[in-house]
Amino acid sequence: MPSLENKRIILGVTGSIAAIKAPAVARELVRAGASVTCVATDGALQFTTAEELSEASGQPVIISIFSGQEHHPPAPSSSQRRGSDVWHVHLARSADAMLIAPCSASAIGMLRTGIYDNAVTLVAASLPKGTPLVIVPAMDEDMWLQAAVQENLAWLKRHGVFVIEPVVGKLASGLTGMGRMPEPEDIVEKFARIVAPASSPVSGSANGEPAGTPALQGKRILITGGPTYEPIDAVRFIGNRSSGKMAAALAIESKHMGADVTLILGPTTPFPLLEKEGVSLRTVGTAEEMLQAVNAETATADIIIMSAAVADFAPEHASEGKMKKGAGETMTLTLKKTPDILAEISKSKRPDQIIVGFALEKGDEAEDYARKKLLEKNLDMIVMNNIADEGAGFGYDTNKITIFTKSGERIALPLMSKEQCAKEILNRITILP
């Protein structure tokens, strides 16, 4: 894990029942070398106390937007100036990063809409441009899957907020599902990779071999993701709703597992964490461009993961200008098939090379189609999304996948974050025969 030594971190705690874990998060941050100041909402203090947070962080805890209303063991230094009416400005400017863990659905909505009427959102709003804000949502599954929550999260991500996704597990409701806050040590590890992405040297073990060697150390992984846009004219295109989120999650997790990663990405919104993690990124527009980019990388790749949603057809002739609507009620386009990139690279597959495909299907015959594609394309593994399942497929931060392998295995997984899906996929790849 990258070091947080001498980093000044603000830990925001909001009104989710997962706030009972916040003192443990503070302790993990301190253990990683950070200086931690906790800021809590009234709701958060229904599940933890200012005393617990202060004891864990070793610093006073701010519990109000109004000056003078803070918890004081030990007393704050005068240099922090938190007793003034602009304490939030000085605190935000002194920080290297802010982590909100847990971040409730209400807090997510406030950050999205610019409501800064509690201490946590007020500090978050005061962070200078370039200071990372990382949030850890935690809530029940039905709340997590609300369209408003997902739309708010998507907006925040587009505007530079980093999100450490919840996991599948036992929830406060007694149910099991997506929405559980990760364990404190996992949160701090991911947070450290965002704030201080440079890797620390791996210490040696007793027998002289590296301790904890990542599972994909030394492997070269090629990943495709996102849509392709096939032009109709200068402004219109044939495409799809793929966001590229699954590919980005696979690329980042591959880096965490020690791989040298190249991601070929179709037209999507930016993923700032890719550059921080050291992923080699190539952007393309059309299926033909993606094929050329893939062909340039396949010879040296040990593992190829084809998660892109490549358009199946493209206009036979694209107009250089903008086509006019005209007087007619209809317009006819003649389409041609785009290159089958997966089939092309499978023809030259090396015996020591692993190729993984994706299948986006819907309905009762989805699994049959996925198995057929696995065999026809000479794949080692295929990952199927059934878009009939709520929360799966394009645009979501969650996914529900079923993995099929060449040896006949079928692994059906519950709804989980795309980061968790990436881990499951890559872990399965590492044990392929």
Instruction: Specify the pTM.
Output: 0.58
Mean pLDDT of 31-55: 96
Mean pLDDT check: name the lowest of 27-31, 104-108, 253-257. 253-257
Mean pLDDT check: name the lowest of 198-212, 303-317, 395-409. 198-212
Q: What is the pLDDT of residue 111?
A: 97
When the pLDDT of each residue in the chain is averaged and rounded to a whole number, the result is 87
Q: What are the residue ranges spanned by the domains of the chain? A: 8-195, 220-315+335-430
Mean pLDDT check: name the lowest of 198-207, 224-233, 277-286, 348-357. 198-207
Instruction: For residue 355, list its beta bridge partners.
Output: 304
The b/e string for 87-105 (b: 16+ C-beta within 10 A; e otherwise) is: bbbebbeebbbbbbbbbbb
Helix (H, G, I), strand (E, B) or coil at 397: coil
CATH 3.40.50.1950 fits 8-195, yes or no: yes
Q: What is the pLDDT of residue 158?
A: 80
Q: What is the pLDDT of residue 395?
A: 66
Q: Count the neighbouring beta carbons within 10 Å of the beta carbon of residue 81.
A: 15
Mean pLDDT of 383-404: 80
Model pLDDT for residues 160-215, shown as the tens digit of each residue: 899 898 888 888 888 888 889 999 999 999 899 888 754 333 333 333 333 345 78
In order of 351, 361, 433, the CA distances from 427 in angstroms are 20, 23, 13
75's tokens = 């007393």
Q: How confident is the model at residue 389 (pLDDT cuts 50, 70, 90)?
A: confident
Same fold flag, 8-195 and 220-315+335-430 = yes
Pairwise CA distance, residues 147 & 111, whole Å: 16
Helix (H, G, I), strand (E, B) or coil at 232: coil
Supply the residues annotated as catalytic.
240
Q: What is the pLDDT of residue 206?
A: 34
Q: How confident is the model at residue 253 (pLDDT cuts 50, 70, 90)?
A: very high
Mean pLDDT of 236-249: 92
**Options 3.20.20.150, 1.10.150.110, 3.40.50.10300, 3.20.20.80; CATH of 220-315+335-430:** 3.40.50.10300
Helix (H, G, I), strand (E, B) or coil at 246: helix
- pLDDT above 80 (res 392): no
- Short-list 220, 360, 222, CA closest to 281: 222
